[in-house]
Structure formats: C-alpha cells, structure tokens
Amino acid sequence: MRILHTSDWHIGRTFHGNSTMDALADVLSALVRQVAELSASENPVDVVIIAGDVFDSATPAGPAYTLLGNTLVALHETGARVIVTSGNHDSAARLGFQAQLLRDGIHVMTDPLAIGRPVTIDDADGPVHFYGIPYLEPAIVRQHWPEATLRTQAQTMAHAMGLVRADLASRAGRSVAIAHCFAAGVEATDGLEREVRQGGLDVVPLNVFDGPDYVALGHIHGRQTLSERVRYAGAPLHYSFGEQHKERGSWLVDIDRVGAVSAQWLALPVPRRLVTLTGALDEILSAENVAAHADDWVCAVYTDTLPQAEPMRRLKERFPYCAMVQHAPVGAAETEERSYSDRLKTAVTDTERIEAFLEHVRAGHGASERESELIDEILDERVAAEALV
C-alpha cells in the first residue's frame, strides 16, 4: 500500500495581511501533479491522507471551499482514494457536511463516534484499515464517553486510540491511524503551531499511538519523524517567518504485506521564499540585499540604536514583499526590566526623569554623552531663570 501523507493546508489563511490563496493553489496543484506522475508509474499512490486543519477557519469563505473541492476531485482523478480528517482550525460539522456531497472514494472523517469504524481499502496484499481521528477537544467530546476521564488531550487521545485498538483486535490486515494533536517528542522550534498550549497538559505521549502500522499526524507545521511509524508532514506552505527554514512537502509511505513501513520525503515548490534580514537599516537597504531578496517575503530586524523614521515605507520601496519590521537595537539593556512608571517613581531629579523617558522610548538606551550635556545646560538655564523671578 502506497500512501501520500499531507496535512495543515490552512486554506484561507493570511500571511501578515496578504492572501495565501493563489500561492496555496499553486502548491496543491504541484502536489496533485506528483500524485498523478506516481500513479502513472509501476507503484502508484493508493491513498492520499490529509491529517486535519484543512481550513484555517471554522467559517471559511466561498473560495476556500472551491479550492478544497477542486483539489480533492483532482486527487481522486489520479486514481487515488482520499481520506480527510478535521483539525482544531476546522469546523468538524461544516467539513463533515462536505462528505455527503463528494463522490465515492473521497472520505471525510469528522465524527468522534465513528473513530472505531475504519475505512478499509484493499490492495494486492490484503486490507488496510484507516482510522480517522478528528481533533478532539476534551470539554466538547467527553459527553460521548461519560465513563471515561477526559480532561486533557493526552487522556482523550488515549481513549480514542483505545477504541482503534479494540476494533483492530477483531480484524485481520494492516492499519493506519490519522490524528491531529501535539505529540511528545516534537522538536521545539520558533514559530511552533500557534495553538500548541504551554505547560504540557496537551502533550500526547508517543506510546499512546501503539497499535497501527503507521500514524499520520497533523498540527505541527514542520515535518517531524517521531519514529519510523509516527510522523508529521507539516504544512505545504510557509505561514510564518519562524517556519522559513523548514522544507515543505509530504511523506510518501509504503506499507508492505507484513506492515513494515518505509517513507521518503517529496518536496513541494516554495512560491516565494521567506528571509529575515538583520543589521542597521541602511545595511538592510543595501543594493546587494535588494538584488538578492527583492522578490522574497522579507522580515527586517534593524539594529540601529534609535528608532528610524518610517522604516516600513523605506523598506517597501526596496522590498515590495516586506511583510514585517522589528526594532532590535544592539546592546539593549539586558538587566531586569522595570516599567516606565516604576522608573519615574524612583527618579529624584529632573535629569533622572528625562533619562527614564529616553530609556522608555529608545528601548533601554538613555541619553548620549552630548545629549546629557545639553540636558544639563537646559536645566541649569531653567534654574537660573526661575531664580530671577
């Protein structure tokens, strides 16, 4: 059985206020072409799995439905079966409604009560049972299983996998589970999925997924291999600058007749590269940088001591796709931060009050030596003037 594992399409998501619909459409068209080319070979793709977060919103706009429908139909026309589950961004009810409108061979699995009922697909080596586990919010789904304690994602996913294993015990053949969660062992990186909660309560232990021959996970936007049989495919498009160094693509997974798994990575094209440029603003705006990155999405981190006038306007004149600008002055104070009001409360002299103001508006940088001299001169002149009144 040959499976293509993708996830986290996030149809309808924006990138710093810019639509990603056209770029995603191009990438998904490339994915369809990959499946079509493989399907014309001696070892075609049997099943395409989309492991949750199909949409970016529970209420997607009309064009998002159009892109999804067109892509699912195009994948099905390659000869592959398609299995879709819902993620935390999706409305399971709205996505599930699509299931009644799609042709045979496209399966949308969003019902928690159907977790133990697989879609079974046969190949030359026998049946493969696909168990779709939609994103399970404990507070919402515990009503379905009142006998179980479901307060965390770990408990809820463990219960769901228990249902999968119970059904597996009554069947012969190989099996695949599809889930959308944050599993233990994921490498921590900047820009990790924005819904991953802190504190560990929603981390699902890896042994929860024992049983199936392969587990196709969604939720993390960079590819991850937690074990040979448990993987994240990541998103097909870059959705934040924190993801810029992560490859985009999908896993091509082969399961042999005894359930042994092998996987290879299929890279997808990147419509527009993401780059972070760091340095003084004039350095970032250099002709060399412009020549190299004029067509890239740019995050500019300028390190000038003082905030510069209209940095975004100046950047966009050189980099039409500058999406983000940050001021990170070199040598900014690393001591314990105090609020502006706290500094004012402890200031005794006018000089200290001015210094506190300058540190506040200059990200920790106070007056320069020359500025301090001017401040002292002006304050001295004021004292002298008041003495004459």
pLDDT tens per residue, range 185-196: 887 555 554 444
Same domain membership, residue 31 and residue 58: yes
Helix (H, G, I), strand (E, B) or coil at 130: strand
Answer whether residue 335 is part of any domain.
no
> Does residue 20 have a pLDDT over 90?
yes
User: What is the DSSP secondary structure assignment for residue 361, as one 8-state letter?
Assistant: H
pLDDT more than 70, % of the chain? 88
> Does residue 71 have a pLDDT over 70?
yes
Output the pLDDT for position 348.
66
Residue 127 C-alpha from the chain's centroid:
33
Same domain membership, residue 167 and residue 118: yes
Same domain membership, residue 287 and residue 252: no
Same domain membership, residue 53 and residue 194: yes
Mean pLDDT of 308-316: 95
Instruction: Quote the CA–CA distance of 83 and 49 in Å, as a whole number.
Output: 5
Radius of gyration of the chain (CA): 27
Output the pLDDT for position 195.
43
Same domain membership, residue 89 and residue 27: yes
Instruction: Quote the CA–CA distance of 190 and 260 in Å, as a whole number.
Output: 33
- What range defines the domain where residue 362 resides? 340-387
Output the pLDDT for position 186.
84
Residue 129: CB atoms within 10 Å: 21
Q: Alpha carbon of 57 to those of 54, 62, 89, 294: distances in Å?
A: 9, 12, 5, 31
| Partners of residue 177 on adjacent β-strands | 131, 215
> Does residue 84 have a pLDDT over 90?
yes
Whether the Cβ atoms of residue 365 and residue 353 lie closer than 8 Å to each other: no
Residue with more model confidence, 35 or 242: 35
Mean pLDDT of 32-53: 95
CATH number at residue 224: 3.60.21.10
Answer whether residue 333 is part of any domain.
no
Q: Residue 187: phi, psi to the nearest 5?
A: -70, 125
Give 363's pLDDT tier (boundaries 50, 70, 90).
Answer: low
User: What is the DSSP secondary structure assignment for residue 187, as one 8-state letter?
Assistant: P
Instruction: Quote the CA–CA distance of 32 and 28 in Å, as a whole number.
Output: 6
Same domain membership, residue 323 and residue 182: no
Give 354's pLDDT tier (boundaries 50, 70, 90).
Answer: confident
Residue 212 C-alpha from the chain's centroid:
26
Question: Highest-confidence range of 103-112, 260-269, 340-349, 380-389, by mean pLDDT?
Answer: 260-269
Answer whether residue 332 is part of any domain.
no
Of 301, 327, 353, which residue sits at a domain end?
A: 327
Number of domains in the chain: 3
Residue with more model confidence, 179 or 96: 179
Q: What is the pTM of this model?
A: 0.82
Instruction: Quote the CA–CA distance of 10 and 8 in Å, as a whole number.
Output: 5
Q: What is the mean pLDDT of the chain?
A: 88
Output the pLDDT for position 202.
77
Same domain membership, residue 360 and residue 248: no
Output the pLDDT for position 101.
57
Give 277's pLDDT tier (boundaries 50, 70, 90).
Answer: very high
Residue 91: CB atoms within 10 Å: 15
| Partners of residue 297 on adjacent β-strands | 274
Instruction: Quote the CA–CA distance of 215 and 227 in Å, as a whole number.
Output: 10
